[in-house]
Amino acid sequence: MAELFRSAANLVRAVAELFGSAVAGEITGRILSSHIANYRRGRNLEESLEKLEELLLEIYSAVDASVGKPITNRWLLQRLSKFQDAMREGEGAQRSLRRCIDNSGSPSFDNGMHILHHARNFFWVSEDVFRLRNTIESLEKVVVDVNKFIRLLELERDGRLYRSISNTTASKCSKVVGLHKEREAIIKILLQDDIALGNDPILAIVGMGGIGKTTLADLVYNDERTKKHFSLAMWIRVPKQLDMAMVAKSISGYLHCNYHNDDSLTLARLQEIIKDKLSSHRFLLVLDDVPEEGNKLLQATVMDCVKSGKEGSKVLITTRSGKAAKSWDTVRSIVRMSPLALKSCSLSFNLSAFPEYSRRLQHPELITIGKRIVGKLGGHPLSARLLGHALRDNLHKEYWNDVLHSEFWESTNNLLPSLNLSYHLLPGHLQRCFAFLGKLPKGWEFTRESLTSLWVAEGLAHSNNKRNKKSAEDLGSEYFDELLSKSFIQRHRHKPGFFTVHDLLHDLAVQAYDSSSCSTGHSNTLWGAQKKNRKRRNN
């Protein structure tokens, strides 16, 4: 600001040279006051930019969810059109706002033409700021429908969308945040021919557990462009202890060759049958969660398949190990998954904690605390989703502060502190049901009925409330829905009616099962200690 006033004398002289002293004072005063206003407005502009980008990220989640999915429902089509219009309007305002911020610094008045330039910018900035205010208000109205849109989109994809949409709950909505660029980059490579790729048909996605590798691969796998380009798409989850017979049988299951349940068939013979069937397809094979060990054998088998398929066949692998990815001789590209940017991670957290946008506006103090919690997550999307869901049902400042200052953040075990904390925020009955999953094998695929029947048999589906007359089966089904809504259980990506547990969460369940008895009925005491800590902080 001081620099601005030191330049005032030069400004007066320059204006006088251009227009004469009679008008110099008036013009100088107007231009100088505009720059003072811009200087003071700089912080507000940056806050507006942050708000605008948050709204855009939420709209992107809806538009991205619709990519590759045919939409026939009229309400969905209308909302998608509104989202796309809002996205274009918001991006235009974003560019203008960045220009406003660039122009809002203290100016240097070296000559008269520079002054005219700043005078012209003042009117442009004022117009942009006015339009920005209207744009933000417009986008706030549009994002109200994002949750409902994505939920109904999932229902239509599953063939379960009926005419009535008024009773759809947004709280069950699931969104993907921050993977748009990676998805587009991978699809671009997949659609290229072999000559352009130099006959390297394998792509790899590498990253730590829970960072979104499988989610990204699933976005690519289910994209409409992928489905149109490849006549056959196969998804194989590779077991930790590599079993080539199991992998071969899984591939044969996609080929409908009626041999995948024939235990008398040798592996060599099954591989010959697979290669023969693949010869009529340009295919995409996704190998999810490839381990570090045993890759040479897996690679040899996969490359035999690729050579048997039509030109343009591709393989997409996901792995935690960069060493495993590099060991594949024909890898065309390695996509390294980075932690989410703070804004994207905050959005993922907020979408889980506040499924309805209007609730976010009602709790500005929780948004502030939430930002500090997100800062502890290291950009980990699974953690953001779990903690957001855990806090969704308790929108009280004291409770959120307990989470922020929890001793779990200082945990030194091998699990992410945020996952451990999310588990201990569960009610006691859900802790016991989830911990029971640690008794079951990693990668187990189950139905609602199969898991709830195990809970009932173990005595985990019961109520201490004597007035509750529900059967154990009904209670087990309710517990299942609660764990599903909190992301501790997830739907199987490619088998309707089946469910799985994320590998990291299975590790958490194993730890919980080993450290406590699932049937004791005692909830964890560590979280109770946090309440005592809060009392000490307040005294």
pLDDT per position as a tens digit, 274-300: 899 999 999 999 999 988 776 788 888
Residue 247, token pair as written in the block: 């992998």
What are the residues whose beta carbons fall under 8 Å from the beta carbon of 412, sequence distance 6 or more?
A: none
SS3 294: coil
| Per-residue confidence (pLDDT) for residue 523, from 0 to 100 | 42
Cβ atoms within 10 Å of 301's Cβ, excluding its own: 17
| Per-residue confidence (pLDDT) for residue 331, from 0 to 100 | 77
Give the pLDDT confidence of 5-35 residue by residue, as tens digits: 445 445 444 544 544 444 445 554 555 455 5
Most confident range, picked from 16-30, 59-73, 137-151, 503-517 = 503-517
What are the residues whose beta carbons fall under 8 Å from the beta carbon of 240, sequence distance 6 or more?
A: 291, 442, 443
More confident residue, 370 or 525: 370
> Is-contact 68 186, C-beta < 8 A?
no
Residue type, 374: V
Residue range 111-120: mean pLDDT, rounded: 46
| Per-residue confidence (pLDDT) for residue 486, from 0 to 100 | 92
Q: Is the pLDDT of residue 230 over 90?
A: yes
The angle at the Cα of 345, spanning 485 to 53, to the nearest 5 degrees, equals 115
Residue range 420-434: mean pLDDT, rounded: 92
Residue range 118-125: mean pLDDT, rounded: 46
Residue range 424-453: mean pLDDT, rounded: 93
What are the residues whose beta carbons fall under 8 Å from the beta carbon of 438, sequence distance 6 or more?
A: 506, 508, 509, 510, 511, 512, 513, 514
Count, residues in the chain:
539
Dmax over CA atoms of the chain, in Å, equals 103
The angle at the Cα of 99, spanning 95 to 104, to the nearest 5 degrees, equals 150
Residue 515, token pair as written in the block: 């450290």
Give residue 361's pLDDT band: very low, low, confident or very high (50, 70, 90).
confident
**How far from each other are the two terminal CA atoms of the chain, in whole angstroms?**
43
> Is-contact 437 501, C-beta < 8 A?
yes
Cβ atoms within 10 Å of 83's Cβ, excluding its own: 24
Q: Is the pLDDT of residue 234 over 60?
A: yes
Among 136-140, 172-176, 325-329, the least confident range: 172-176
Residue 373, token pair as written in the block: 């919690």
> Is-contact 201 194, C-beta < 8 A?
yes
Percent of residues, the chain, with pLDDT higher than 70:
71
Helices (H), 112-193: 112-142, 146-157, 180-190
Percent of residues, the chain, with pLDDT higher than 90:
28
Angle between helices 112-142 and 8-19 (to 10 degrees): 110
Please report, for the chain, the start and end positions of each structural domain, with discontinuous segments joined by +: 2-155, 180-336, 342-538
Give the pLDDT confidence of 470-486 residue by residue, as tens digits: 888 999 999 999 999 99
Residue range 173-188: mean pLDDT, rounded: 77
Q: Is the pLDDT of residue 405 over 90?
A: yes
Q: Give CA–CA dist 220/418, Å, rounded.
A: 28
> Is-contact 12 28, C-beta < 8 A?
yes
Q: 232 - beta bridge partners?
A: 283
| Per-residue confidence (pLDDT) for residue 39, from 0 to 100 | 46
Helix/strand/coil percent split, the chain, to 5: 65, 5, 30
| Per-residue confidence (pLDDT) for residue 446, from 0 to 100 | 94
> Is-contact 512 431, C-beta < 8 A?
yes
Residue 488, token pair as written in the block: 């501790």
- In CATH terms, the superfamily for domain 180-336 is P-loop containing nucleotide triphosphate hydrolases (3.40.50.300)
Going from the C-alpha of 538 to that of each of 170, 372, 535, the distances in angstroms are 36, 19, 5
Cβ atoms within 10 Å of 421's Cβ, excluding its own: 24
Give the pLDDT confidence of 158-179 residue by residue, as tens digits: 554 433 333 333 333 345 677 8
| Per-residue confidence (pLDDT) for residue 227, from 0 to 100 | 92
Give residue 144's pLDDT band: very low, low, confident or very high (50, 70, 90).
confident
What sign does the dihedral 435-436-439-441 (CA atoms) show?
negative
Residue range 206-214: mean pLDDT, rounded: 91
| Per-residue confidence (pLDDT) for residue 371, from 0 to 100 | 94
Give residue 522's pLDDT band: very low, low, confident or very high (50, 70, 90).
very low
Residue 152, token pair as written in the block: 């109904």
> Is-contact 112 15, C-beta < 8 A?
yes
What are the residues whose beta carbons fall under 8 Å from the beta carbon of 137, sequence distance 6 or more?
A: none
> Is-contact 263 295, C-beta < 8 A?
no
User: Could you write out the three-class secondary structure of 460-491?
Assistant: CCCCCCCCCCCCHHHHHHHHHHHHHHCCCCEE
Give residue 106's pLDDT band: very low, low, confident or very high (50, 70, 90).
very low
Q: Is the pLDDT of residue 60 over 50?
A: yes
Q: Is the pLDDT of residue 111 over 80?
A: no
Give residue 143's pLDDT band: very low, low, confident or very high (50, 70, 90).
confident
Q: Give CA–CA dist 135/509, Å, rounded.
A: 46
What are the residues whose beta carbons fall under 8 Å from the beta carbon of 98, sequence distance 6 or more?
A: 49
| Per-residue confidence (pLDDT) for residue 174, from 0 to 100 | 46
Q: 315 - beta bridge partners?
A: 202, 285
Q: Give CA–CA dist 311/299, Å, rounded.
A: 18
| Per-residue confidence (pLDDT) for residue 155, from 0 to 100 | 67
More confident residue, 322 or 19: 322
Residue 397, token pair as written in the block: 């400042």
Q: Tokens 């986008």, residue?
A: 139
| Per-residue confidence (pLDDT) for residue 368, from 0 to 100 | 92
Q: Is the pLDDT of residue 369 over 80?
A: yes
Half-sphere exposure of 411 (CA within 13 A, CB side): 15
More confident residue, 416 or 464: 416
Among 75-84, 169-178, 418-427, the least confident range: 169-178
More confident residue, 213 or 81: 213
Strand 232-237: give its sheet, edge to edge. Answer: 232-237, 283-288, 314-319, 202-206, 331-336
Q: Give CA–CA dist 4/105, Å, rounded.
A: 9
Q: For residue 489, which of 473, 514, 509, 462 has the smallest C-alpha distance?
A: 509
Residue range 147-163: mean pLDDT, rounded: 61
